[in-house]
Each structure stands twice: as C-alpha cells, then as structure tokens.
A and B are shown apart, each in its own frame.
Chain A
Amino acid sequence: MLDKGVHPHFDHLIDLTKGEINRKIFSDPEIYQTELKQIFARCWLFLGHTSQLPNENDFFTAYMGEDPVIVTRHSDGKIGAFLNMCRHRGNRVCRADSGNQRMFTCPFHGWTFANNGNLKTVPGFKQCYHEELDMESHGLVPVAKIDNYKGMIFATFDAKAPSLEDFLGDMAWYLDMMLDRREGGIEVLPGTHKWRIKCNWKFPVDNFIGDSYHGPVSHGSAWESGFEGMPRRKKGYGYEGFQINAGNGHGFGARWAENEEQVYEMALPEFLDYEHDRFPETHSRLGDLRGMHLSPMHGSIFPNFSMLWQSGNIRVWHPRGVSETEGWSWCFVDKKAAPDHRDMVRIHDLQRHGTSGTWEQDDVDNWVQSTKSSKGYVGRQFAQNLSMGVAHEIEDPKTIHPDMRGRVAGFQNEINQRQLYAQWAKMMNGDTPDVPGATV
C-alpha cells in the first residue's frame, strides 16, 4: 500500500487488516479533486435543520463540498436546495447567509429567480435576447434529491444516490437517541460558528467518529479547569462503553449505563434535574438499549457531518482545498427543554466546542500538524496508524444487547476510523455522479 506509484484503485491506499492508510490521501491535490466528484457530488450532505426555516420564504445558504447552495422554504412550504450560481455568468445570486425572500436577483445583470429556482425575469428579454433565451431550462440548478430525517435536512447532487433512509441505514435508528428522545425532537439555535482550519477535511471527521483515545491528553487542561465534559469520566481510559459502526462509514462512540442510576451518575451536576425529568419519556420512546444503556458522546455521518450528542453540538466540515477545512458548528436543544436548561446547554456547548471552545482549540493544531506531515515526501512513505484493536471487534454484538445493530468494539478501538476510510475508498472507486441536467 505504500507510495510506490499511481494506483488505479483507491483501496490500495487503505489496509484494513493492518489498520494502515497512505498519508497521501491527506495531501494529494488530485485525490482531493476526485473527492469533490466521487464523494461530495455523490453523498447525501447535511444542510441544516428544519427549525432553521420556520417561515415561508425563509432561506439560508450552505455548501455541498465547494459548491455554494441556497436552501429555501418555498411559499408552498416545500424545502428546496439550489446551486447559488446564476445560470448566466455564474455570479452568486444570494450573498446573504440567511434571511427571508421570495426572489433572488442576481447582482451582475439582474436575472431574477424565485425561491423554487425558477427563472422569472431577465432584463432585456425582448430587446437584448430577442425572446430566444429558454427561461425554463435556465433556472437555478436544483439538487438531485433532498429529504429530511426527523428534521435533519440532507441533499445530494447525484440522481443515482440511494434514498436518504438507505444512505443513513442503521445510523438513522441510532440518531433517534438525539432526534427522538423527547416529543417534538430537537431545535437548532440561531447562530453558526464558522471558522477555517488549515487541515484536510478528513482529520476532524476521523477525530469525531471514533477518537475517544485523544480525550485525556488533548483535553486534560479543559477538563481540570472547570470545563468538564459529559458523561463524567471516572478514571483514565476506564470508560465503559462501545464504538459502534452503523455501516456506510457512519459511526459513534457511547458510554454504557447498566441501569437508570448509572445514567444519572454520568450527568454533570447542572444537568441532573433535566436528566431526571427527561429519562422516563426517553426510556418509553426508545426502549432499554437506546433509551437507557447507551449514552452517545461523539460520532460522524459520512462524509463530513459530526456531532457531540450530549453537549448539544452538531457540525459540518466543509472542504476548502486539500489542506483547508471550514467548520460550521451549531447548538441544538430538545424542543421541550425549558429556557433555563437551554441556557445551560448553550453555555456548556460554546465554552467547550466551536470557535472559543476550551476543548476544540486544543484539537485544531493536532489536525493542522497531521496535515502538514502528509506533505513531506519522506513522511508520506510511512503509513498513518489506525491499528488500535484491529483484531478485537466484538464478534457477536447481540451478546451485549439483543437490539444492538452494526459492528461493535470496545470504547477504545479505532474500528470507526477504519470503517470511515473503507467507505472513503468505496466511494472513490465507485460510479461517477449523475448530475441531472448537466450541460457540459
């Protein structure tokens, strides 16, 4: 698998039995261009949550890979997503991050599009275009598919992509621990942290999907200075819990509570009342495994969505070239949560995660330096190591609990990272995307 020339297939860069991957996947500009096509133009990508578009004609802008999109709620209530690119000269038709508008007028020559993508007016349609421009085929480019899972809006540019349900697979069932633990689900608070990190986009995804190992070293300073995390650590590496891989490159890590008492033991003191308040409802909605035993902490949905479930934090890692990433981070709360609990979740989250986060700050330079190491010719001849627990997956996860789904390993095991890169290779090797209506 080492760097001995050009490989026609990407799986040569990933050795799952040894847990080694070739560092050039973090630094090769050609591989990056292939990722934009094979991964970001094919996968379902997270755009936002329905609570961010409460009213008719609300919109926000987002990205799918490096492609800017506008996400709108049309006056018929339907949510759509369109390339934020005028079909004339490609100018952005919307320069706002969010707002409420029925129409988007391109600032360049004034083509005007409705928020369902239709091209409505073209200045000089008669005098300049002699009525020969086909208005119908020059609307904003819509995504091929858009759907939401319990409020989480995803879209893909690939008409051949499986349904969102199939793409999420068992991960959807596990996501219910966030989205369906209380009646009404969640709501995302206004405000998005957006910031640039000079790292390859895969490093943070890798970190969030399964790197429970870095916590005590990377985040020790925050933990002992009053920014304790959840669930509370008992000692050293002694978490009791699991890394769960739900398939399709999605995975998460969760602590394990044997009974209701242990659920409360894990809670931070300031959240204890709320935990007591919500537990019976969660338990009756989700049952023993999802409603009591598993306390999910960190996870990622392939390719670039991550979450810190119990800190009320979700985020997307937008690729910005092979060595740069733009993080977008949000805070969510249970819709049912009372104002004082919302305040606590928000403050807990922002003091730990996102731009000024006392935890997050200390992650960033690690990812930056790992990216830099992938650039040196000699350094690239040595594999990235993901071998932790490679021979120690739990053979039959049903022995842990009969409802358990996916592949499971102990809490300190790099199974989720290995499966992330396995999915990466699978997508890179697969079909090219079918972008409907593409004209070149």
Chain B
Amino acid sequence: MSTDIRAISDIDLWFSITQFYSREARYLDDLEFDKWVGLLAEDLRYWMPIVSNRIGRGIGSELTERGHLAHFEDDYVSMSNRVKRLATGRAWAETPPGRTNHMVSNVEIVGKENKMVQVTSKFLIYRSHMETDQEVFSGTRKDVLREDADTTWKVADRTIVLDHAVLMQKSLGIFF
C-alpha cells in the first residue's frame, strides 16, 4: 500500500485490517511479544481509561479523562519495557505464562485520511492461568492505524475501554 488510502476499495481495506488484527492477536496468544511490539508505532499512545457506574446527570461521564488515573497510560518505550519485563524470566504474574485467546470482531472503519485509518473493534479475551484461574476481558478498542511498508499497519493510537468497573481479573498483565 503506497497509494492514498482513500483510493483503496472498502473491501480491500477491511480485509487488510482484519488480517492485521488477527496477526496481532496471534502474536499475543503465541507469546511473540517482540513481534507484537513491532506492530506499534514509535509515537504510540496506548490508553485504557477507568469505567465507573453513573446515574442521572452523571450518565455519559463514566470514563476517566486525560489527566485522570487510567489503567494504562503508556507509550512505545513503556510498552517495550513491559515486554522486556516478560522476557526476564522473573515476571511472576506470567510465570508460568497465562494461556490467552484474543478474539477481535465487529471491525468497523470509521474514518480515513491519506495514510491513516480510524477503526473501532470489539474484543473478547479468555485467559487461563496456572491450575484453575480463569479470566475474561471484554471491551472496545478505538485505534488509529498508520500505513506501514513492512507490517501493512502500525498502531499509532489505541484507546481501550474495558467493560469492568471492578475488575474480576487479578491484574491487567496481558496486552489488548
């Protein structure tokens, strides 16, 4: 892809992005984290705000804003460091590693620019850890993907909204 994204047919674009997401999910599930980091742009913003319960006039302000506490507020360097940590052999939360399946669906292209696309998608991740620990993560991703000659796309901006107000998972040690 080197032409203007707006000139690519919707079906070709959709195919390219869903293939990219499947590959990304496979890298995560197969513990190929270095390859996964290779799909992140160096100016990455990776953010997971916190959701809470609101009623009445508070409806609509369930998510924490920029500048508030978040579950993740990371960049390329800190995500690379999180991955480095896993490679030390002493990242106890992933020793032994959990077994995950990242399912990504409802992929919808919501915006196009010359070299970028905005995409929303849903995820459902199942994680089994050690003997009987089971975790399910569900939520929404809002991505800005940038065209890339080597990897077809790179994630330039990812906002992740996890559905859980009180996390039933013991930690957020996996990637989304």
Query: Closest residue of chain A to B72, judged by CB?
Result: A356
- Whether A350 contacts B71 by the Cβ 8 Å rule is yes
Number of A-B contacts (CB under 8 A): 139
117-176 of chain B: CB within 8 A of chain A: 130, 165-173
342-357 of chain A: CB within 8 A of chain B: 342-343, 346-347, 349-351, 354-357
A366: Cβ under 8 A from any B Cβ: yes
Known: A98-B52, A99-B55, A221-B91. A351 touches B78 (CB 8 A): yes
Known: A189-B68, A326-B166. A360 touches B53 (CB 8 A): no
- Whether A194 contacts B166 by the Cβ 8 Å rule is yes
Per DSSP, chain A at the interface is: mixed
Known: A191-B50, A192-B52, A350-B71. A222 touches B85 (CB 8 A): yes
- Whether A190 contacts B57 by the Cβ 8 Å rule is no
Contacts of A99 in B (CB 8 A): 54-58
Known: A100-B57, A220-B90, A226-B77. A358 touches B82 (CB 8 A): yes
A365: Cβ under 8 A from any B Cβ: yes
Known: A99-B57, A364-B170. A350 touches B85 (CB 8 A): no
Q: Which segment, of A154-162, A195-203, A414-422, faces chain B?
A: A195-203
Interface size class of B (residues with CB under 8 A): 35 or more
A101 to B56, CA, bound (A): 9
- Whether A368 contacts B170 by the Cβ 8 Å rule is yes
Map CB proximity to B onto A213-250 as digits: 1 under 8 Å, 0 otherwise. Answer: 00001101110111100000000000000000000000
Contacts of B58 in A (CB 8 A): 96, 98-100
Contacts of B84 in A (CB 8 A): 225-226
Min CB distance A261 to B, Å, is 29
A330: Cβ under 8 A from any B Cβ: yes
Query: Closest residue of chain B to A188, judged by CB?
Result: B69
- Whether B78 contacts A361 by the Cβ 8 Å rule is no
171-196 of chain A: CB within 8 A of chain B: 189-196
A331: Cβ under 8 A from any B Cβ: yes
A225 to B50, CA, bound (A): 25
**Which single member of B68, B81, B89, B172 contacts A227 (CB below 8 Å)?**
B81
**Which single member of A96, A190, A218, A357 contacts B68 (CB below 8 Å)?**
A190
Q: What are 9 of the A-B contact pairs (CB < 8 Å)?
A: A194-B167, A197-B170, A221-B89, A221-B91, A346-B67, A347-B73, A356-B48, A362-B92, A362-B93
Hey, which bits of chain B sit against chain A, CB under 8 A? 48-50, 52-58, 64-65, 67-74, 77-78, 81-82, 84-85, 88-93, 130, 165-173
